[in-house]
Each structure stands twice: as C-alpha cells, then as structure tokens.
C-alpha cells in the first residue's frame, strides 16, 4: 500500500475509494429482469420487500411466502436429483458478469456423469440458507446455489 508521511499514497487511496464505490454499486443494484428472462429462470423472491430490508433483516432473506413457495413447487421437478438455484446475494454484479458462462459449464460437467438439471430458480434478496427452504419445497437430492457474494470487486 505504501505511505507518504502518516497518510496512504494517493494511488492507494484512490484505488480503495474506487473499490469501495464498486462494492456499494454491487450491493445496491439488482439483477436485471432481462437477464432472468433471457436465462429462462423461474423468478421468485424471499419475504424481503427492499434491499434495505434485505441488508438489515438477514432472516427475511432465508424465507419464502406461500405465493413464492407455490411458484417454486409448481415450476420445478419434484424429487429431482439436482435443483439449481441462482441468488442475487450481496452482489448482483457478480451474477450478471458470470452466470452466462458458469451455468452451462456446470451443466456440461454434470452431463459427463449422466446428471442434469432443468428449471433453474432465481431468488431475489437471497441469503444462502434459502437453499434449505428450496430443498424442503422441492425434495431434491441436491440443491446447488450460485449466489453473488463478491462485494469487494465489481464482478
């Protein structure tokens, strides 16, 4: 990092501020509806009603209301071997930057073992334990959650 006297060097300070701004942008932005539609995800949300509520009430990011539970139940294969879930988490930027490459790679790798998944659930305001609830709803053998959590970087 380096110092000039008692202060950090200007380049280090500016890099920190840029990284901090990118992290804030990642936390306070949403995954675009266009991406959710393009990827044919089943769109759901936890009981959070806003990003502020998501940040201040982590327990809300783990729960689904009856309407969203029913959406999951009706649009997924019961007792599937694998249920894929994509959650926005703390970094929608990480999801937007990576999901188009990561999901097909996982699918290809699973196909080598004669495994597959079909309907992918997208969860807005998602915390990691939301996958436990999805597991209860779908009764899948394995629930795999890809969640945006890289808040320290833009992607």
Going residue by residue through the chain, which has 155 residues, state the pLDDT in tens, using 9 for 90 and above. 677 778 888 888 888 887 767 666 666 678 899 999 999 999 999 999 999 999 899 999 999 999 999 999 999 999 999 999 999 988 888 899 999 999 999 999 999 999 999 999 999 999 999 999 999 999 999 999 999 876 555 54
Delimit the domains of the chain by residue range. 3-147
CATH 3.40.50.11240 fits 3-147, yes or no: yes
**CB–CB of 145/102 below 8 Å?**
no
Measured in whole angstroms, how far is the alpha carbon of residue 86 from the centre of its chain?
5
pLDDT of residue 30: 84
Distance (Å, whole) CA 59 – CA 147 = 16
Distance (Å, whole) CA 12 – CA 33 = 36
Side-chain half-sphere exposure of 10, counting CA atoms within 13 A? 0
pLDDT of residue 7: 82
Side-chain half-sphere exposure of 63, counting CA atoms within 13 A? 11
pTM higher than 0.85: no
């Amino acid at each position: 990092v380096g110092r000039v006297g008692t202060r950090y060097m200007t380049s280090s300070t500016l890099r920190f501020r840029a990284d901090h701004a990118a992290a804030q942008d990642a936390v306070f932005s949403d995954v675009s509806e266009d991406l959710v539609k393009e990827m044919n995800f089943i769109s759901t949300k936890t009981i959070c009603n806003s990003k502020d509520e998501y940040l201040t009430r982590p327990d809300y990011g783990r729960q689904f209301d009856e309407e969203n539970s029913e959406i999951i139940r009706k649009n997924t294969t019961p007792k599937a071997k694998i249920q894929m879930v994509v959650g926005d988490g703390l970094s929608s930027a990480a999801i937007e930057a990576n999901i188009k490459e990561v999901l097909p790679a996982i699918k290809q790798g699973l196909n080598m073992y004669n495994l597959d998944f079909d309907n992918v659930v997208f969860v807005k305001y998602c915390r990691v334990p939301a996958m436990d609830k999805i597991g209860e709803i779908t009764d899948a053998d394995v629930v795999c959650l890809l969640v945006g959590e890289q808040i320290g970087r833009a992607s």
